[in-house]
Amino acid sequence: MSGLWDDNDLDEFMYLEQEIGAYDVPIAQKKPEPVPQRSNSMSYSEFAQKEPRKSSAAHEQRRKQSKSVQRDVDRAAEEYDLIAAAKERYLKKKRLLDAEYDRAKQARDQRVRTEHQSTRQTVSRLRALEKKAGELETELIQAQTELDTLEAEQTTMDRQTQSDLTSLNDQLDDVAGQTEDLDAAIAEQEAELQRLKGIVDIQNHAPKAEAGVGQGKVYQTKSTKASPPARTTRPTHDEPVKGAEYAQEIAALPYATPEVLQQAVEDDIAEYCTSQETVVRRSNERVGVKYATGARAVQFSNGTMKYILPDGGEVVKFYNGDVKKAAADGTQIYLYADVQTLLTTLPDKTEIFRFKTGQIERHVGNKSVKIFYPNGEVKTMAK
């Protein structure tokens, strides 16, 4: 709206106001100087003789005043025209301002109506949301109540389930203990059978100069001369003396001597079975122990100890001094303590005997027996 007026218009109005206000006395109120009047007692000749010049001067003055008045009138007329034109411009601009004001007012009223309508709609939506929130709160309270009920039921069920699980775990522990006991008993029996079998094999194949077997025990003979092992089958061929083959066979054994095997067993027990005990169970005069390393141990009533290592291997120390070590790959090493004989069983069932005298026999299934003597002699016999 401010764009309808400019500085020139303001200057013009100010000028007109100054011009109009410059006249202290309006034009209509200005009075000419008084004209000399003849008195009734004075004749015309006397008046003319007395005031001739004064009359002419007054006439001239009136003429000048008339011209001045005319000029003032003309000037006032011009000023009036200017004022009228300025007034017309003012009225025109006023009409424009009024129109602009009306449009602005209408736009404002429209905005106000729109905002009022939007506010009413927002209030309506808020009320609907409040109602919906109340309904949801009611549903939430109901759901919370149902949840509390379900949690209470779940807690009861969990307690019952926990009780059942505890009972089942106890039963499983008992079954596991019994299974371990059975496994240990089976292992003990298998070890005993293997031991007896080894003793029988030793009786059949051990050098007679070193030991003689009678009723499962080894006795020293009087002969000091080494004699070849007893032959139950006919030899297929003799091989020349090769000391290198004996050395290679010794090097191929997992444990070349009983001392090395016993030291390895003690190292395994020290590494895995001396840490903090986590579980200790006693059943049927047997004691089961679990260690923090993951290893387990079972002590039997006769003094036999069985260790199950975390890598899957097993170590058994029998009551009579025999030692068995089983690796995770299936290799088994058994030490017959009374005769200091090592029996190594490979995963392919090949059996290698290492006798106290140093003699080595390799039994390949039911096919052949290869004998390595400490003096380097090698013989192969068919079974």
Q: What is the CATH number of the domain that holds 322?
A: 2.60.450.20
Same domain, yes or no, for 236 and 91? no
Same domain, yes or no, for 189 and 273? yes
Q: How far apart are CA 287 and CA 277, in angstroms?
A: 12
Same domain, yes or no, for 351 and 241? yes
Reference 357, options 373, 345, 381, 370; nearest CA is 373
Q: Does residue 343 form part of some domain?
A: yes
Q: Does residue 133 form part of some domain?
A: no
Q: Does residue 123 form part of some domain?
A: no
Same domain, yes or no, for 194 and 341? yes
Same domain, yes or no, for 270 and 355? yes
Q: Does residue 329 form part of some domain?
A: yes
Q: Which letter does DSSP use for residue 215 in this model?
A: T
- Domain that includes residue 82, residue range: 1-22+69-95
Give Rg (Cα) of the chain: 69
The number of domains in the chain is 2
Q: How far apart are CA 341 and CA 257, in angstroms?
A: 9
CB 346: neighbour CB atoms within 10 A? 16
Reference 201, options 344, 353, 347; nearest CA is 353
Same domain, yes or no, for 188 and 306? yes
Q: How far apart are CA 211 and CA 217, in angstroms?
A: 9
| Maximum pairwise Cα distance, the chain | 214
Q: How far apart are CA 196 and CA 317, in angstroms?
A: 16
Structure tokens at 91: 């009225």
Q: How far apart are CA 61 and CA 346, in angstroms?
A: 162
Same domain, yes or no, for 78 and 186? no
Structure tokens at 210: 């070193």
The partner residues of 182 in beta bridges, in order of sequence, read none
pLDDT of residue 281: 73
Q: Give pTM, 2 decimals.
A: 0.43
Contact (CB, 8 A) for 353 and 205: yes
Q: Give the distance, in angstroms, between the CA of residue 205 and the centroid of all CA atoms in the same chain.
A: 67
Q: Does residue 141 form part of some domain?
A: no
Same domain, yes or no, for 281 and 181? yes
The partner residues of 351 in beta bridges, in order of sequence, read 345, 363
Q: Does residue 351 form part of some domain?
A: yes
Task: Measure the CA angle with vertex 116, ends 114 and 117; round to 5°.
Answer: 65
Question: Please, what sign has the CA dihedral across residues 93, 95, 98, 100?
Answer: negative
Question: Please, what sign has the CA dihedral across residues 214, 218, 222, 225?
Answer: positive
Reference 198, options 333, 300, 371; nearest CA is 333
Same domain, yes or no, for 275 and 375? yes
Q: Does residue 316 form part of some domain?
A: yes
Q: Which letter does DSSP use for residue 360 in this model?
A: E
Torsion, Cα 378 207 331 350, to 10 degrees, reads 50
Same domain, yes or no, for 195 and 83? no
Same domain, yes or no, for 175 and 89? no
pLDDT of residue 303: 87
Same domain, yes or no, for 177 and 84? no
- Residue-level pLDDT, tens digit, the chain, 383 residues: 444 455 555 565 555 555 555 444 444 455 555 555 666 666 656 665 665 555 566 667 777 777 887 888 888 888 888 888 888 888 898 899 999 999 999 999 999 999 999 999 999 999 999 999 999 999 999 999 999 999 898 888 888 888 888 888 777 777 766 776 677 667 667 766 766 776 666 666 555 433 333 333 333 333 333 333 333 333 333 444 447 888 888 888 999 899 999 999 999 998 888 877 776 777 767 788 888 888 989 888 888 999 999 988 999 999 899 999 999 899 999 999 999 999 999 999 899 999 999 999 999 877 789 999 989 899 988 86
Q: Does residue 146 form part of some domain?
A: no
HEC string of 17-78? Answer: HHHHHCCCCCHHHCCCCCCCCCCCCCCHHHHHHHCHHHHHHHHHHHHHHHHHHHHHHHHHHH
